[in-house]
Structure formats: C-alpha cells, structure tokens
C-alpha cells in the first residue's frame, strides 16, 4: 500500500461535507480559511471520489485539521484543557494520600466535565 492509498482512505467525502457545514454554522468557514482553501474543499467534495494525489491529500488534511480545531465547541475545549488538567492534579494528590482507585480519575470524561463546569461557573472550591 502506498502513501497515496493510505492518505486517501482517511479523507471521506461525507466527513468533508459535515466539516464544511459545521464550519459554516460556527462562522469559521469564511473567517479562518482563505478563498483557495475553501475552493479546494468545495471542488474535492464535488469532483473527487478518492484522492490519488498525495500533495492534494496532504493539503486537504491540513485544512481539515485547522477547521476541526476551530469548530470544536468552547465547552469541549474547556473540558479538554481545564477539566482534564484538574482531574489529573486531583488524581495525583489522591494517589499520594493512598487512594489507589484515584488513578482512573485522570482519564474520566465525566469527572473532567464536572470539574470544568465547576471552574467555569466560578465555584469557590475550584477557584
């Protein structure tokens, strides 16, 4: 299998359409992408069934990574950046106190979400 084969398998037309729609809804499509990038995505959606050019595939992947980062909701970003950081710190602290089950806390999405909500709402214990 060549680089071209593996790269084209990662780019799905439906995912590109969904990403474009989400980018347009969130206002990122025109603000973050220049005209050539928008046209490149549009033409790829309209014309290509699979991408055989590794150069085109790399460019499309670059654009999609940029859009995915910008389209991500603020809340999900807060969970990723704030919640998991707090969960990791609390997990380490609890493990030092002898709580062996606390090791799982660092990767618990629900716990990270709870901590992010508490932090964002200005709860005094997470100040």
The reported pLDDT for the residue numbered 58 is 92
Q: Give the whole-number percent of the chain exceeding pLDDT 70.
A: 88
The reported pLDDT for the residue numbered 9 is 55
Q: What is the DSSP string of 23-57?
A: HHHTTHHHHHS-HHHHHHHHHHHHH-SS---HHHH
Whether residue 6 has pLDDT greater than 50: no
Please tell me the total number of residues recorded for the chain in this structure.
Answer: 127
The reply to whether the predicted model has a pTM over 0.75 is: no
29-64 tens-digit pLDDT? 998 899 999 999 999 999 887 888 889 889 999 999
Whether residue 5 has pLDDT greater than 70: no
Long-range Cβ contacts of 6-10 (<8 Å, 24+ apart): 7/51, 7/54, 7/57, 7/58, 7/61, 8/50, 8/51, 8/52, 8/57, 10/57, 10/61
Instruction: For residue 62, give the nearest of 30, 21, 32 by alpha carbon.
Output: 32
84-102 tens-digit pLDDT? 999 999 999 999 999 999 9
With cut-offs at 50, 70 and 90, classify the pLDDT of residue 8.
very low
């Amino acid at each position: 299998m060549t680089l071209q084969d593996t790269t084209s398998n990662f780019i799905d037309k439906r995912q590109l359409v969904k990403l474009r729609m989400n980018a347009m809804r969130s206002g990122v499509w025109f603000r973050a992408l220049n005209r050539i990038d928008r046209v490149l995505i549009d033409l790829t959606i309209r014309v290509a069934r699979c991408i055989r050019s590794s150069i085109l595939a790399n460019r499309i992947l670059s654009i999609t990574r940029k859009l995915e980062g910008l389209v991500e909701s603020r809340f999900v970003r807060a969970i990723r950046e704030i919640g998991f950081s707090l969960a990791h710190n609390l997990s380490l602290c609890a493990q030092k106190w002898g709580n062996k089950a606390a090791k799982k806390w660092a990767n618990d999405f629900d716990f990270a979400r709870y901590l992010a909500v508490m932090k964002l709402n200005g709860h005094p214990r997470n100040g």
